[in-house]
């Protein structure tokens, strides 16, 4: 791995070799720092409160216990909110995919009159938007407050995803579509029977992009839902964190160390359960994301 | 039928290109709709979506200049001119938030923007493909986490008994209550931003690196360039367009510093350094229900962002010939 390079008779291959060793060590260190917070959460999730309380838990669980998992999972609200996250993610992704796919397909047709205008009004929203308050008033006016619609509709089209899909459809072999048209298929038929079945890769990528972002989102739910049984699990977790920090900053004279520590332990378990689906899927989804981002950048 | 028209269309295009015949009359909307109505029908729902959920809120900004009454029109009831603008210009809390935004945005731009370039170059020097792949996969991981999880980790690491304080105490220092001291907030924010975004930021640079012609390196070596000079004269110019595009985008989001992250991390003790425009307008607008006032602040912020991205784009197009549009 660290053989000196012999190409082209470089004079300072020795110092370059030293550089490469240092480089590799630095990258290992960067990877460790990146993983550390995750490992710390895992360690805390399996530790007993007393050890976290005395500040001894870093990478290795101390006073191993799994009772906290039972405690968190016995909270019906946690499961309710976890289920909400699943429902919101599935419904929102479905709506987003229908809108994004049809929009991207139509925009990918270069002969479409007004195409530049339609692309323009979509792209402009990337650089300028209505802002928090007008959006909030709009959602209230529409009566979406405390309904699933506030979560699944307002973020249905991501312009970035739209541009990636459009780029993909533009590269779709035209001959195939023309042949289908000769065989009597309409635009709808071509899209549903020819283009989509051959676009599984990009569709899978877009589903992942949307699903991960909806799974992770919390702010729309925090803003538009006031009933705890409607929350997604991210808001459940946020409320735990807020309670814990409140306890820490206010609790100096309140002797609430005990409850704050329970929170620390419960917090770690809840975090672990919330990220679990993503961490499990990560090895599979990662390469799709990377290729999707690169596809999106080709246009630039 | 459709196909023939398409062929004619193609013919017309090439004709125009060659200028051998005067271009025929442009296709009218009526003809386009008749021919492509199925494609236009696919546009209907997305366009309605954009109009309602993107353009109506833009128009809703008008309440920055009109008095809004809950239950009244979402575009406000009566004109009040620049009243709300004057209000925030004379508001010291707004100016504190403004400068916090500028400082946090500036730090993020100055520190977080160059790091993915450096990391991509470091990855690029690795010979072992396996090691490179694993290291990259690890570096992307934080990008996939919910901001709530990231905030949770930050709070956990910076807690009085957290890992950072354990480290400080191990070396004989005093534990620091990070989340109660405003002077620490900027470092914590920027560090967490680095942790979360740098690995993901390398993707585009690594993609750009693969497009550099290997012959350029060959030529540089023949000219006697060592590895450093190759990086300086071949690699960096090769990824320059990517760097500029990403810089413009970063400048455009300069004012929109991580609203959600700040909202999750801060507490009243940290307001002196952590309160940014967007969190301030959240408190004014959503918590205190001063909708018009908060909208005026939001509009101001959005206009700064738009101006920044337009000017960065224009400057870049003039100066280096690379631009977003």
Cβ contacts of B306 on chain A, cutoff 8 Å: 127-128
Cβ contacts of A38 on chain B, cutoff 8 Å: 141, 153
DSSP string, A118-174: HHHHHHHHHH----HHHHHHHHHHTT-TTSTHHHHSTT---HHHHHHHHHHHHTS-H
**Per-residue pLDDT tens digits for A180-199:** 888 888 888 888 888 898 88
> B126 and A23 in contact by Cβ < 8 A?
yes
**Helices A76-107 and A115-127, interaxial angle, to 10°?**
140
With bands split at pLDDT 50, 70 and 90, how would you rate the model's confidence at A48? Answer: confident
A&B contacts, CB < 8 Å: 289
Q: Look at residue A20 and tell me whether its pLDDT is greater than 70.
A: yes
Predicted local confidence at residue B92, as pLDDT: 93
Predicted local confidence at residue A256, as pLDDT: 40
Which has the higher per-residue pLDDT, A139 or B20? A139
Predicted local confidence at residue A82, as pLDDT: 93
> B301 and A131 in contact by Cβ < 8 A?
yes
Q: Cβ neighbours of residue B322 under 8 Å, at least 6 residues apart? A: B240, B241, B244, B245, B316
> B295 and A275 in contact by Cβ < 8 A?
no
**Per-residue pLDDT tens digits for B248-291:** 888 888 877 788 999 999 889 999 999 999 999 999 999 998 99
With bands split at pLDDT 50, 70 and 90, how would you rate the model's confidence at B27? Answer: low
Query: What is the mean pLDDT of the segment spanning A280-291?
Result: 84
Cβ contacts of B163 on chain A, cutoff 8 Å: 36, 40, 58
Best mutation target, B1, B6, B46, to test chain A (most A CBs within 10 A): B46
Cβ contacts of B222 on chain A, cutoff 8 Å: 8
Question: How long is chain B?
Answer: 325
Which residue in A131, A217, A286 is closest to B140 by CB distance?
A286
> B286 and A44 in contact by Cβ < 8 A?
no
Q: Comparing A11-25, A33-47, B271-285, which segment has the lowest mean pLDDT?
A: A11-25
Q: What are phi and psi of A155, to 5 degrees?
A: -110, 30
Give me the percent of chain B exceeding a pLDDT of 90: 47
**Per-residue pLDDT tens digits for B118-136:** 999 999 988 888 999 999 9
Predicted local confidence at residue B9, as pLDDT: 53
CA distances from B235 to A178, B222, B238, B240, B241 (A): 43, 16, 5, 9, 12
Predicted local confidence at residue B4, as pLDDT: 46
Predicted local confidence at residue B25, as pLDDT: 54
Cβ contacts of B291 on chain A, cutoff 8 Å: 133, 136-137
- Cα A241 off chain centre by: 20
Pull the structure tokens for residue A121: 């009004």
Q: Look at residue A217 and tell me whether its pLDDT is greater than 60.
A: yes
Cβ contacts of A31 on chain B, cutoff 8 Å: 134-135, 138-139
**Per-residue pLDDT tens digits for B45-84:** 999 999 999 999 999 999 999 988 887 788 888 888 888 9
Mean pLDDT for all residues in chain A: 84
Q: Look at residue A261 and tell me whether its pLDDT is greater than 60.
A: no
Query: What is the mean pLDDT of the segment spanning B91-100?
Result: 94
Cβ contacts of A109 on chain B, cutoff 8 Å: 36, 39
Inform me whether the C-beta atom of residue B236 falls under 8 Å from chain A C-beta atoms. no
Query: What is the mean pLDDT of the segment spanning A274-292?
Result: 85
Q: What is the Cα–Cα distance from A215 to A93, expressed in whole angstroms?
A: 10
Structure ipTM: 0.86
Predicted local confidence at residue A234, as pLDDT: 94
Q: Look at residue B295 and tell me whether its pLDDT is greater than 50.
A: yes
Q: What is the Cα–Cα distance from B107 to B111, expressed in whole angstroms?
A: 6
Which has the higher per-residue pLDDT, B74 or A5? B74
CA distances from A298 to A71, A163, B234 (A): 49, 10, 21
> B135 and A99 in contact by Cβ < 8 A?
no
Q: Look at residue B15 and tell me whether its pLDDT is greater than 50.
A: no
Best mutation target, A54, A57, A133, A186, to test chain B (most B CBs within 10 A): A133
With bands split at pLDDT 50, 70 and 90, how would you rate the model's confidence at A176? Answer: confident
Predicted local confidence at residue A296, as pLDDT: 67
Task: Give the pTM.
Answer: 0.86
> B74 and A12 in contact by Cβ < 8 A?
no
Q: Cβ neighbours of residue B7 under 8 Å, at least 6 residues apart? A: none
Contact map slice: B 283-312 vs A, CB within 8 A:
285-286, 291, 294-295, 298-299, 301-302, 305-306, 309
């Amino acid at each position: 791995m660290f053989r000196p390079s012999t190409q082209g008779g470089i004079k300072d291959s020795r110092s370059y070799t030293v550089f490469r060793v240092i480089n590799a060590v630095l990258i290992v260190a960067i990877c460790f720092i990146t993983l550390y917070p995750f490992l710390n959460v895992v360690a805390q999730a399996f530790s007993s409160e007393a050890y976290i309380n005395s500040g001894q838990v870093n990478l290795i669980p101390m006073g191993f216990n799994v009772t906290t998992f039972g405690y968190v999972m016995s909270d019906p609200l946690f499961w309710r909110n976890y289920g909400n996250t699943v429902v919101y993610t599935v419904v929102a992704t479905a709506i987003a995919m229908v809108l994004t796919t049809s929009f991207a397909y139509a925009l990918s047709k270069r002969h479409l009159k007004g195409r530049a205008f339609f692309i323009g009004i979509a792209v402009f929203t990337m650089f300028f938007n209505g802002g928090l308050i007008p959006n909030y008033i709009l959602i209230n006016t529409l009566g979406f407050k405390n309904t699933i619609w506030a979560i699944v509709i307002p973020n249905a089209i991501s312009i970035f995803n739209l541009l990636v899909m459009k780029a993909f459809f533009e590269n779709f072999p035209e001959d195939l579509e023309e042949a289908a048209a000769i065989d009597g298929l309409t635009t709808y038929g071509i899209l549903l029977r020819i283009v989509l079945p051959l676009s599984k890769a990009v569709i899978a990528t877009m589903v992942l992009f949307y699903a991960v972002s909806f799974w992770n989102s919390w702010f729309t739910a925090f803003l538009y839902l006031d009933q705890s049984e409607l929350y997604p699990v991210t808001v459940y977790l946020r409320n735990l964190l807020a309670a814990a920090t409140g306890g820490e900053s206010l609790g100096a004279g309140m002797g609430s160390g005990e409850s704050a520590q329970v929170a620390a332990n419960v917090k770690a378990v809840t975090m672990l359960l919330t990220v679990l689906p993503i961490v499990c899927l990560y090895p599979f989804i990662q390469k799709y994301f990377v290729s999707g981002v690169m596809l999106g950048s080709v246009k630039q | 039928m459709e196909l023939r028209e398409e062929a004619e269309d193609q013919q017309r295009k090439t004709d125009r290109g060659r200028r051998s015949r005067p271009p025929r009359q442009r296709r009218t909307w009526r003809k386009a709709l008749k021919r492509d109505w199925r494609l236009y029908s696919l546009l209907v729902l997305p366009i309605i979506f954009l109009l309602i959920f993107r353009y109506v809120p833009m128009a809703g900004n008008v309440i920055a200049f009109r008095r809004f009454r809950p239950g009244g029109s979402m575009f406000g009831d009566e004109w009040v001119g620049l009243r709300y603008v004057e209000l925030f210009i004379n508001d010291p809390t707004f100016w504190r938030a403004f400068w916090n935004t500028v400082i946090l945005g500036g730090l993020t731009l100055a520190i977080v923007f160059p790091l993915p370039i450096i990391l991509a170059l470091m990855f690029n020097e690795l010979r072992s493909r396996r090691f490179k792949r694993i290291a990259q996969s690890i570096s992307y991981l934080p990008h996939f986490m919910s901001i709530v999880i990231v905030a949770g980790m930050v709070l956990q690491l910076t807690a009085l008994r957290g890992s950072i304080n354990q480290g400080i105490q191990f070396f004989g220092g005093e534990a620091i209550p990070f989340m109660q001291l405003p002077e620490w907030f900027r470092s914590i924010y920027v560090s967490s931003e680095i942790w979360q975004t740098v690995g993901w930021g390398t993707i585009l640079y690594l993609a750009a690196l693969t497009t550099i012609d290997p012959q350029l390196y060959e030529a540089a070596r023949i000219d006697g360039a060592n590895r450093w000079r190759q990086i300086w004269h071949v690699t960096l110019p090769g990824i320059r367009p990517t760097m500029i595009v990403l810089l413009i985008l970063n400048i455009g989001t300069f004012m929109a510093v991580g609203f959600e992250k700040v909202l999750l991390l801060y507490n009243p003790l940290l307001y002196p350094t952590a309160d940014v425009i967007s969190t301030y307008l959240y408190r004014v607008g959503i918590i205190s229900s001063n909708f018009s006032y908060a909208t005026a602040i939001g509009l101001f912020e959005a206009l700064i962002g738009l101006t920044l991205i337009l000017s960065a784009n224009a400057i870049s197009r003039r100066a280096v010939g690379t631009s977003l549009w």
